[in-house]
Amino acid sequence: MSHGALTVSDIARATRLQETTVDALLAYMEQTGSLVRRVEAMCTGSCSLCSVAGECKGVNGSKGLTTLTLLPTERNRTGSVQ
């Protein structure tokens, strides 16, 4: 994810996964505490001026720019599961 801001479509293309699979993986990572989603800006309804028009889903279906933050896990720190 060193490429900056990406959409689910961008991630799906880069990984050659379906968008629904990417959504499911993100939901799983959030549920297991590996990922936090946060709405940064709510949609103003001016989609024609938005760089991610048609791509944003926001949290719980609300429109808006959403930041995904990966959280450190024991595996990431040590290279193995404890």
Please name the residue that has the structure tokens 């889903």.
57
Residue 32: the pLDDT is: 92
DSSP per position, 10-32: HHHHHHT--HHHHHHHHHHHHHT
- Considering the domain boundaries, does residue 48 fall inside one? yes
- Considering the domain boundaries, does residue 3 fall inside one? no
Structural domain of 13: 8-71
- Considering the domain boundaries, does residue 49 fall inside one? yes
- Into how many domains does the chain fold? 1
- Considering the domain boundaries, does residue 1 fall inside one? no
Q: Using alpha carbons only, how large is the chain's radius of gyration in Å? A: 14
Give the pLDDT confidence of 25-68 residue by residue, as tens digits: 999 999 999 998 887 766 666 666 666 666 655 444 555 677 88
Residue 21 pLDDT > 90, yes or no?
yes
